A and B are shown apart, each in its own frame.
Chain A
Amino acid sequence: MKYILLMTGTKAGVDTCRAWSPSDVQAHFKFLMRLNKELSESGELVANEPLAAPDEARVVRAGKDGTPVTDGVFPESKEFLLGYWMVDVESPERAYQIAARLSAGPGPGGVPTNMPIEVRQMMSRKTDEPA
């Protein structure tokens, strides 16, 4: 079963992370690398993409003649996707377990960030089992 684990943050949240000490940043990064390695070795990691900081985010709509109309202004409260992990696991519980691991990543002073991780099931292009 394929699930996607979404790590999000507001602009304020991201700014707070930017204020972490370099060693805290390194520790968090190392934590993620170790977790990724573990998930690769268990054969569960399908994809992981970190996204660039929300400064570069744009919302695009089609203008009247189809040309893109872009907007870079967002409400303070907007949750930006920071990165996602796609996993292939045996059960939803396993997906939640992995999400909990992500949530427990170290923040300032090594204290777990306890950040919320959204867990969603992926749509597949397959049908159900044969009836």
Chain B
Amino acid sequence: MEHLLRELAPQVLGAVIRRFHDFSSAEDAVQEALLAAALQWPREGVPDNPRGWLIQVAARRMTDYLRSEEARRRREFEVAIESGQMATAADSAPETDRDDTLTLVFMCCHPALTPSSAIALTLRAVGGLTTAEIANAFLVPEATMAQRISRAKASIKASGVPFQMPSSREQDERLRTVLHVLYLIFSEGYASSIGPQLQRVELAREAIRLTRGVHALLPQHGEVAGLLALMLLTDARRAARTGPDGELVPLPKQDRALWDQAEIAEGIALLTAALAKGSIGAYQLQAAIAAVHDEAARAEDTDWPQILALYDLLKRTSDNPMVMLNHAIAAAMVHGPSKGLELLGALDSDARLAGHHRLDAVRAHLLEMAGDREAALAHYRIAAGRTTSLPEQNYLLTQAARLSEGAASPDVK
């Protein structure tokens, strides 16, 4: 039943917001309806139309609230603002459940919001996580997270964005933001999955769940499928990322028996279907790269020329300097370390990478491949001093220590 309530919550919230135009109060009303359901349904049984039941209860709460003088005045004001905009949206799509949820997702990822606000709001309104759960996931106090969410809602209200789907012209742009927010949630969850689980909620799983939702609403969209595939193909390796003492295990050293084959299979299937539709976007390309890695039975079986070709394509659609770093690694694996180092040289002037530990970490790795132990050691130490990730720092210091012992390294392939 909890699963049912979580699934219905965003639909109910969407419907109530659409009807009453008051995000904050709608949230409270829906929470009360969900609570009522959690108390009554176990006793009386789940109603035939659970969604309708929830909307009715929430709507009643809203009406009670709106009857108050102050609220009525505010509502009249908001309706006056919105009726001007709503009038121009006469040709918008019929308001079905799916559109309400999708509209809600689009609204939570409004470009006026900072990424962290959009993330918090999406997890709250669409994911149905409590403020405490979100705070816990991001290691900030609950009060801080509550403020972030309040301010995000206030920003949306102040921006006057009506509760409707953006025009089809804006949709592509907005969808890009939505996918970016979902990717950030996944990254946060994936990065936090090392070491002991501090939080009950797994953000990576939540990101996958939300992306599945968007994929179900927009099955034709190649990049949505691509993002979902990328998440699954990356998440599949999660169990192998951590060593027995909680240390970071890089991809070439991972025990592939621990990879989740079901997730890999699902990711590949999604990707294949998306690519067949003809479009190729950055998420689909990244998913394809992840798929090539995941398909290799052993690290030495990795089809590096294929990965390099994919990075060559990805470079054209993506400006991300991390992509350039990974491209350099792939080039080194295919053409030798000097090729990779040459490409890194071109990145030295990229301001976005200046002082970034990954540039030094990749350089160290390639220098070691090239046999320059002294320089590799130096760059591992520089990278260790620059990273803000404790597991990464431990890993980089350990690499430096390994090299300073002078043993010929069996680690570098």
Contacts and interface: CB of A to CB of B under 8 A. Distances in A.
B166 interface: no
A79 interface: no
A35 B374 CA distance: 49
Nearest to A131: B326
B82 interface: no
Contacts of A131: 251, 322, 326
B349 interface: no
A2 B138 CA distance: 11
Interface in A9-46: 40-46
Contacts of B20: none
A121 interface: yes
A127 B389 contact: yes
B218 interface: no
Interface of A is mostly: loop
B194 A125 contact: yes
B392 A125 contact: no
Contacts of B190: 129-130
Contact of B390 (A46, A88, A124): A124
B148 to A, nearest CB: 3
B145 A126 contact: no
A123 B151 contact: no
A85 to B, nearest CB: 12
A88 B144 CA distance: 9
B122 interface: no
Contacts of A90: 114-116
Given A124-B139, A125-B195, A130-B186, 18 more contacts: A42-B151, A43-B144, A43-B145, A45-B144, A46-B141, A88-B144, A90-B115, A123-B388, A123-B390, A124-B389, A125-B192, A127-B241, A127-B248, A127-B392, A128-B392, A129-B190, A130-B190, A131-B326
A47 B392 CA distance: 25
Interface residues of B, number: 36
Nearest to A89: B116
A122 interface: yes
Given A127-B392, A130-B234, A43 B147 contact: yes
5 contacts: A42-B151, A88-B138, A125-B195, A125-B389, A128-B191
Nearest to A43: B148
B114 A40 contact: no
Name the residue among A41, A123, A127, A129 with the largest chain B CB count within 10 angstroms: A127
Interface string B221-253: 000000000000010000001000000100100
B140 interface: yes
Which 4 interchain pairs have the tightest Cβ spacing? Answer: A43-B148, A126-B191, A43-B147, A129-B187
A52 to B, nearest CB: 23
B101 interface: no
B181 to A, nearest CB: 14
B393 interface: yes
B358 interface: yes
Contacts of B148: 43
Contacts of B387: 128
Nearest to B393: A123
A125 to B, nearest CB: 5
